[in-house]
Amino acid sequence: MNEDSILKMVRATLEHEPLIKLHQWPVSLAMADDHALVMEGEVGSVAAKKLALQLARSIPDVGNVVSHLHVVPTEPKSDGEILKSLSTKLLNVEELKNCALRVLEKGQIVTLHEGSAEDASGDILVSVKDAIVALDGWVISLSHKRLAGVLAWWVPGCRDVVDGLEVMPPEQDNDDELSDALSLVLEVDPMIPHPGQIRVRTHDHVITLEGLVSSYTEKSRAEQDAWCLFDVDRVVNHLAVAR
């Protein structure tokens, strides 16, 4: 298949996914060396970004996919405002209290919290450039890594999250771990008043949400939380809204 045919097939595939909304958020496509596909532009949600990358990779003859896709922020914020807001969130979450927290501010690393010396849960370094959050350092579990990443996505103004946190010691990922991580996130989320009413099932990195919520806003928020988790491929939302 030649490059023009590949690009046409990718675009047609993206157009058939309603969450991507190409008519509203155009995505630029180009072929680079070795049939690598370069995707550039803004999308309306984390779900749209993940689905766009998955669909592009599913096209025959597409090699590597290079992503320059970013999520349109809910409201414009400066890098400093994003860094301050995220730092506050990280400091206030009980599950991360034993993590050291450092931020890269004006080229200097500033320590905001030393954490526990005896029972450390991690050492997190946060930086923000062009409204893109980068998380570096280490944490003790995949759930800690995923929680930090979701907290970053929650910050108004955030366009993307690059979660480079290492898990030490290394931990084998699986469906139960993903379900546990989402359950933790839902418990932390102030927009989910009754997280215990939401049942989470995971199979092959696809999360299914079931149960009862009090509003369509809560239903949408729970789905958004699931999409924000590191290494989630798809979310099926079967939550019912109480009447």
Question: Tell me: the pLDDT tens digits for 40-86?
Answer: 999 999 999 999 999 999 998 888 999 999 999 989 999 999 999 99
Tracing tokens 């949400």 back to the chain, one arrives at 209
Q: Is the per-residue pLDDT at 1 higher than 80?
A: no
Q: Does residue 54 sit in the same domain as residue 133?
A: no
pLDDT over 70 for what percent of the chain?
A: 100
Assigned token pair, 125:
């370094």
Q: What is the pLDDT of residue 146?
A: 97
* DSSP bridge partners of 206: 203, 234
Q: Decide which of 133 and 63 is more confident.
A: 133
Whether 211 and 193 have beta carbons less than 8 Å apart is answered as no
User: What is the identity of the amino acid at 108?
Assistant: Q
Q: Does residue 11 sit in the same domain as residue 49?
A: yes
Angstrom CA distances, 117 to 94, 103, 113, 126, 160, stand at: 17, 19, 11, 20, 31
CATH of residue 16's domain is 3.30.70
CA contacts within 13 A on the Cβ side of 203 = 4
Of 71, 93, 128, which residue is a domain's last?
Answer: 71
Q: What is the residue-averaged pLDDT of the chain?
A: 95
Q: Which domain holds residue 209?
A: 175-241
Q: What is the pLDDT of residue 243?
A: 80
Q: Does residue 83 sit in the same domain as residue 67?
A: no
Q: Does residue 199 sit in the same domain as residue 154?
A: no
| SS3 state of residue 6 | helix
Q: Does residue 38 sit in the same domain as residue 93?
A: no
Q: What is the pLDDT of residue 149?
A: 98
Other CB atoms within a 10 A radius of the CB of residue 13 amount to: 15
Whether 195 and 186 have beta carbons less than 8 Å apart is answered as yes
* Dihedral sign computed on CA atoms, order 59, 60, 61, 63: positive
Q: Does residue 103 sit in the same domain as residue 160?
A: yes
Mean pLDDT within 181-196: 96
Q: What is the pLDDT of residue 202?
A: 97
Q: Is the per-residue pLDDT at 134 higher than 90?
A: yes
In the chain, the number of structural domains is 3
Q: What is the pLDDT of residue 35?
A: 76
Q: Does residue 92 sit in the same domain as residue 29?
A: no
Of 109, 132, 167, which residue is a domain's last?
Answer: 167
CATH of residue 212's domain is 3.30.1340.30
pLDDT over 90 for what percent of the chain?
A: 90
> How many whole angstroms from its chain centre is CA 128?
15
**pLDDT per position as a tens digit, 30-47:** 998 777 999 999 999 999
Whether 188 and 162 have beta carbons less than 8 Å apart is answered as no
Of 29, 46, 71, which residue is a domain's last?
Answer: 71
Q: What is the pLDDT of residue 133?
A: 98
